[in-house]
Structure formats: C-alpha cells, structure tokens
Chains A and B, each alone.
Chain A
Amino acid sequence: MDRLYRGKDARPAGKTRGNVTNTGFTRAQFLRLAGSVGAGMLASRMAGPGLSPASAAPQVTLTWMWSSNTANEADFWDKLKQEYFSKDHPNITVSNEFLGGGQLYDKIQALEQAGSGPDIVFWQGFRAFSWAARGFGVNLDPYIQRDKVNISDFDRRIMAMMSYRGHVYALPYDYGAVLLIYNKDLFDAESVPYPTANWTWDDFLHAAAKLTKPEKNQYGFVQSPDFVWGAVPFIWSNGGDYLSDDGRKLMLTEPATIEAIQWYGDLRNKHKVAPAVGSGFQTWRDTFYTGKVGMFIDGPWQALTLRARANFKWDFALIPKGKAGRMSWIAGTGYAISATSKHHDEAWEFVKAMTSRECLTALGKAGRGFPARVSAQPAYLGVHPPQNSYVAVEAVKQARYVKTTATWQEMNNLLNKAVMDNVELGQMSAEQAIKNVMPEMTALLQKSQALSR
C-alpha cells in the first residue's frame, strides 16, 4: 500500500480497526436507493393539499464518506454533524460512512471511477490535485460566490491545495505544518536540553546522538520512510525541491535535494540515531508511542492521538533549521462534493455548515485538528498538552504546501521504494537512487501533464 496513507488522518490501525464503521458499498447504495424511494414517497404525500411549498422540501439522503479510525472519533464526527448541520436541516439526512486508514482513499477512487461516489468526499490534500484532474469533484466557486463565503478567513496555502486551475474544489476543515514532536521524559532522563527554535541540523543530530542508547533499545529519532513525510521538510530547509513551482519540472537532481535525502538516510545507517522501522502501515508512528524514541516529525493533527496514547510527557517544537533556513510543509483535508452526486445543492449546505467558523472552533477545541479558518485557531491553542501549542501557529509561518501531480500516488510510491528505502538501508547513495528513478519519474510527470492539460 502506498505510504500516503500515513496521511494525517490515518491513525494507528493496530488497536482500533475493530471499531471502524465499515458499512460497505452495498449499504451506501442501498441507503441512497432507500433515500430516493423515501423521498419519492414523502414528496407524493406532501404534494397533498394544505401544505405550503416551504415545508414541502423533499427529503434527501446524502452519504458522507469520511476518515475515522476509532469509535471515539466516529462519535466526535457524528456529534459535530448533529450539532452544526442536522439540527438546522431536517429535510437532509446525512448517512455516515466512516472508514479507517488507507482503505478510505482506495474506496473513494474505486467508487468515483465506477460513477457512484459518495455525495460528500474526504478531500485529502495529497490527493486533491489528482482527484480534481480526474473530475471527481465539483467546482465550488459558484456556490462560494452565491453564499458569499469568506474565503480569506482560510489560510491561503491550504486553499491553494484545495484548488485546481484556480477553482476551489473543497473547503478545508483542518491543516497544519509538520513539527518536531518530542518525548520530554526521555530528554529529562538523558539530561538533554529540549529542542529550541534556534536548533540547526547539527544541534538536532547532536541531541539525537545523546538520546540514542542501542543497548537499551533507545533512539533519538524515528524516521517516516515516506518521501513527503520524511524527506521534504529537510529538502526544503536545505534549499532544494522535488518539483518546480509551476509543477512542470522535476527538481530531484538539484544538489541541495540529493544532499538532504542523503542526510536523512544517514540518520539511520551512518549516524545510527534512528531505529530500522518497517515500511508497514503506521509502523514509524507506533514506534514513537513505545516511549523509546526521543523525537519524530508529524503534524498538529496528531495531538488527539498523542493525548490518548502517549504514556509519557511530550511537546511540540519547530523543525530544525537547515542551511536555507526553516521550511516545513503544509497539508490538510477538506469537504468536497462528488461529481457523481445527484444532490449538489444539499451537499453544498453540508460543506458550508461543517466548515463554518463555529464548527471549526469546536473542532479545534476538541484537538481533532488545527482549524483551517484563521479565526477559529485560538480554540486549538487553549488545550494542553502540548504545553507549547502555539508552535502549531509558529510552524505554519515558515511553511509551503505540498505540491502534487495527477500521478502523485505513483510518483510518491516510486520515490519511497526506489529512493527512500534504498538510501535508508544504505544500499545506494541518494545520488544513484535519484538517477535511477528519473526516467520513470519523467514519464509519470508527462502523464500527469496529459491528464491535467
């Protein structure tokens, strides 16, 4: 499975898979069918004399396919829906289709291609471009203009990620820039000072080395084996890139890019401050939760899980500065309407309500995400731990959003297996690994350009 699943909303699957509300294709279709039959019956009954047109709004059922990995989380989303949407829209029933981890994306893609996508789609940032290029979503611009939604309240970078060719395809609920999350107990035990905003790569490496005690199975840092998750913050902070800003040229062969990838891989096989973690689903994240690792890089969306799972003290810090300064990456997720939906108008009402300032404030307060609306962000900062929750705000100040292509999943997978794995295993230099994948990467970029022309 490609490692994009280690996306922000993918929670460790080990303990929670049993609670996933996996209702399946047939139920979705059945519900939709039931909904339309129900609506028909209701409409014919309401067509009788004595009813005003206003109360004759036909009953509509929408399917809401969403990411949720635990019963708790499912509960949270359902309550949010009741509170901020269902209460005010008695004629619209939103049926939850919550799925965990990576299955969600595969299922959405399969359903969309089969022409029976869910009405409301979990529009994840890394997939947004590829889905929009394939026509999965609906251009929301007319709705946004009609209802005068204040787009400028959303961070413009996450809006850029939710847009395709200048049109908005989803309204984001959360986003965030990746941070350094550290285990305070481990730092204390080894008398290592906590990370500071002035940390350089050398400071980071130095601290990681002091925290590493192989005989105790203890390490300074755990790497994500994913290209975006692991290497990109270092590539950018080193002044390199992987794709040009217009998305038309690969930048992987830039010396600064190769240097950063090599440095990242060396953390494991040269400096030995990072344990060897498998490429299996979520393994790197779970490794941090063992309490035997000092630091890892993840986003503010991880706070909810950290509060629930970490049995040690932890906090947020900024990622260390490279020679080009500090550059973190931004990603997030939004609510989109499937092009295959037959109820665009009703679905829009849902999208609008669920991304309202009130709803996103509730989301921030619960720690489920760092709100995409700037005006709702103070809610996130009031909840501890982390002690330094303000770092989530600092981090987005020095960050860019992750550029992707219409073939990004395949490109990302190729970079993971042919570059990241080989460099981390010490089987190949970053330079050699990049050189090897360039022909295939170039072909994939051309395919992407053909798709998004």
Chain B
Amino acid sequence: MDSSNAHVHAPTWRAAAAGRRRRSANRDAWVALLFLAPNLAGFLVFTALPILAALGLSFVNWDFQLGATFVGLDHYRRLLFHDATFRKVFSNTVMYVLGYLPLNVVLSLGLALALNRALRSMVLFRTIYFLPVMVTMVAAALVWRWMYDYQFGVVNYFLNLLGLPRIPWLVSTRWPIPAIILMSVWKGLGYNLVVFLAGLQAIPRYLYEAASLDGAGGWRRFWHVTLPLLSPTTFFAIVITVITSFQVFDQALIMTEGGPADASNTIVLYIYQNAFQFFNLSYAAALGWILFAVVFLFTLAQWRMQREWVFYE
C-alpha cells in the first residue's frame, strides 16, 4: 500500500516541488522588489518624473503669470543658434573641463604613486590631501575669492614676493576660468587620489617581482605593469571627473557670480539664473536637456573608446 501509494503519487509530488520552486522564485522576486521599493519609488518620484517633466516643460513657454503655450523646438533653436550667452557659457564650461580634467587626473595619479607606500607617515599625507574634499564648496569658494583678490589677495602677494606681476584673477575677462580651475584642482584632488590609491593597492605584487626579474626598471614597470593594470581605475576616474566638471557651478556662483561680463559663467549657473532668478523655467529645462545630451555624448564616446586602452585582467 505504502509503496504503491508512493509510486502513484511520485509525479504529483515532483510537480508540487517544481511548483514550490516556481512559487519561491516568484516570492524572491517580490521580496527583492519590496526591498528595492523605497529606493525605486524615490527614483521614480524624485528623479525620473522631474526629468520627464523637464523634457515636457522644454517644449512650452511657461511663465508663472502668462501660463503655458506650446512652442515646440523654439527654445532649442534659440539656445543653439541665437543665444550669445549660451555660446559663451558653453565655451567657458568646455574650457574648464579641458583644463581641470588633465590637471586633476595627472596630479592625483602622480600623488597616488608617491603616497602608495607602507610608511606610517603616508596616512598623514593622504589625510592632508583629502581634507579639501571634505570642505564645503561654498566655504572654500568664499576663502579663495579673497585669496584671489587683485589688491589684497594672498596669491598676488606671493607672486609679488617672487618678483612676478599681479594677476587679475577675478577682475578680468581672461583669468577667471583658470582661477576656478586651480581652485577646483585643490578642492577635488583628494577624491581621485583615493580612487587611484585603491586601484594601485589592487595590483598584485608578484607582477612587479616578475617584471624586476625580467630586468624591467622603475619606468618600465610603471609603463608596462602599473598603467595597464590601473586602466579600469583611470577609466572610472576620467568618466566621473568629466561628468562632475561639466556641472561646475558653486565656485563660479560664489567667487564671481559668472562675471565679469560672463567671463566665468557656466552652463549650470546659466540654468540656475534662468530657472530661479529670471522666471524662465522652461528655457532652463531646455538648457538642462542640452547639458544632459553633451555629457551623455562625452560619456558614450569614452565608453566606446575604452576597448582601445582599458585593460581588464
């Protein structure tokens, strides 16, 4: 009875087990979704929805008082072909990225190589270089604004001591962007430094030993071992730095308010002015989407190019 029973029920039992597995897989998915829900809801409500709303807003002309009228691509046409200020802020921002990116990456990599030693004092140096990252940008910008002061600033004071002429850092149309680049390098160096240090420490020691045995000197070890194995880290650092540097804003807002004569106005500052000061919300939305497109294209190009130089172990 028992055995025949078992025999008869075997397929049913197997089917039931499979059902339980399916059900439990389903349940896992639900549980996962439940855990993700707060984050997902936050993303949908506070990120995805506003982004889409901004896209919609960029096709209308919306002023608080006059209401909304559909204008199609007018905003985009105006800002790409007729807005001299946009051309100015765009070129300022690109100049900033072109200056800031190489300086930041080369310096932070160089420092990471210098600090990647098992010495106790290195901890101190790492802390020192990381400290500016912890400082609020606004506070830092307020201090640098005074350091860059033409008459009373400490930077020109030292230039003077060295017998060099004073530089009109924030009071000319040529120098504000270089001034903002230098300040931002000081401020942001520590972040990439930490990223590179982590990358360096992940490179296996035996590779260096093998290279040494093969007679490779310091320079060749760097060129043939360190650089290729660090390339995923470098890739990450460059992508992130490009994205964040296109968003340069606080420094310009506090140090120069974009001036003089828009010499240091940036894309995000221009968005901010339009949205929050000039009541041109829909124009600001179009500007935001242009910035997104630019950053997206840059990132896509880097992604495509990574197979040329990024070496994954």
B232 on interface, CB distance cutoff 8 Å: no
Range of interface residues on B (Cβ < 8 Å): 35 or more
Contacts A277-B171, A451-B66 hold; do A407 and B257 have CB atoms under 8 A apart? no
Bound complex: CA A134 to CA B278 (Å):
12
B257-A279 in contact (CB<8A): yes
B168 on interface, CB distance cutoff 8 Å: yes
Contact flags (1/0) for B133-169 with A, using CB distance below 8 Å? 0000011001001101111100000000000000010
- CB contact list, A154-174 vs B, under 8 A: none
Bound complex: CA A130 to CA B261 (Å):
24
Range of interface residues on A (Cβ < 8 Å): 35 or more
B145-A278 in contact (CB<8A): yes
SS class, residues of chain B in contact with chain A? loop
B281 on interface, CB distance cutoff 8 Å: yes
Picked from A106, A278, A410, A424, the residue with its CB within 8 Å of the CB of B170 is A278
Picked from B139, B145, B259, the residue with its CB within 8 Å of the CB of A417 is B259
B66-A450 in contact (CB<8A): yes
A133-B65 in contact (CB<8A): yes
A418 on interface, CB distance cutoff 8 Å: yes
CB-CB < 8 A to A406: which residues of B? 65
Residue of B whose beta carbon sits closest to that of A444 = B278
Bound complex: CA A113 to CA B277 (Å):
12
Residue of A whose beta carbon sits closest to that of B153 = A278
A51 on interface, CB distance cutoff 8 Å: no
B65-A1 in contact (CB<8A): no
B254 on interface, CB distance cutoff 8 Å: yes
B12 on interface, CB distance cutoff 8 Å: no
Determine which residue in B139, B149, B168 has the highest number of CB atoms from chain A within 10 A of its CB, and name it: B149
B261-A106 in contact (CB<8A): no
A3-B168 in contact (CB<8A): no
Contacts A17-B139, A278-B170, A278-B171 hold; do A413 and B260 have CB atoms under 8 A apart? no
Please give the distance in Å from B69's CB to the nearest CB on chain A: 12
A283-B276 in contact (CB<8A): no
Bound complex: CA A292 to CA B153 (Å):
13
A446 on interface, CB distance cutoff 8 Å: no
CB-CB < 8 A to A287: which residues of B? 151-152
CB-CB < 8 A to A421: which residues of B? 259-261
Bound complex: CA A91 to CA B172 (Å):
56
- CB contact list, A277-306 vs B, under 8 A: 277-281, 283, 286-287, 290, 292
A145 on interface, CB distance cutoff 8 Å: no
Contact flags (1/0) for A94-122 with B, using CB distance below 8 Å? 00000000000110011011000000000
- CB contact list, B258-293 vs A, under 8 A: 258-262, 265, 272-273, 276-281
B142-A13 in contact (CB<8A): yes
B152-A290 in contact (CB<8A): yes
A113-B64 in contact (CB<8A): yes
CB-CB < 8 A to B259: which residues of A? 225, 278-280, 416-417, 421
A438 on interface, CB distance cutoff 8 Å: no
Contacts A1-B277, A413-B277 hold; do A14 and B152 have CB atoms under 8 A apart? no
B273-A2 in contact (CB<8A): yes
- CB contact list, A195-224 vs B, under 8 A: 217, 219
Contacts A281-B257, A292-B152 hold; do A417 and B277 have CB atoms under 8 A apart? no
A275 on interface, CB distance cutoff 8 Å: yes
A356 on interface, CB distance cutoff 8 Å: no
A417-B261 in contact (CB<8A): yes
CB-CB < 8 A to B173: which residues of A? 425, 427
Interface CB pairs A-B, < 8 A, 15: A1-B257, A113-B281, A130-B279, A133-B65, A135-B64, A276-B150, A277-B171, A278-B255, A280-B170, A280-B254, A410-B280, A413-B273, A418-B261, A422-B261, A425-B261
Q: Which residues of A contact B (CB under 8 A)?
A: 1-3, 13-14, 17, 105-106, 109-110, 112-113, 130, 133-135, 217, 219, 225, 275-281, 283, 286-287, 290, 292, 406-407, 409-410, 413, 416-418, 421-422, 424-425, 427, 450-451
A130-B279, A135-B65 known; 10 new pairs, CB 8 Å cut-off, are A2-B257, A105-B277, A217-B151, A219-B151, A276-B151, A278-B170, A279-B257, A280-B170, A417-B261, A417-B265
Q: Which residues of B contact A (CB under 8 A)?
A: 63-66, 138-139, 142, 145-146, 148-152, 168, 170-173, 253-262, 265, 272-273, 276-281
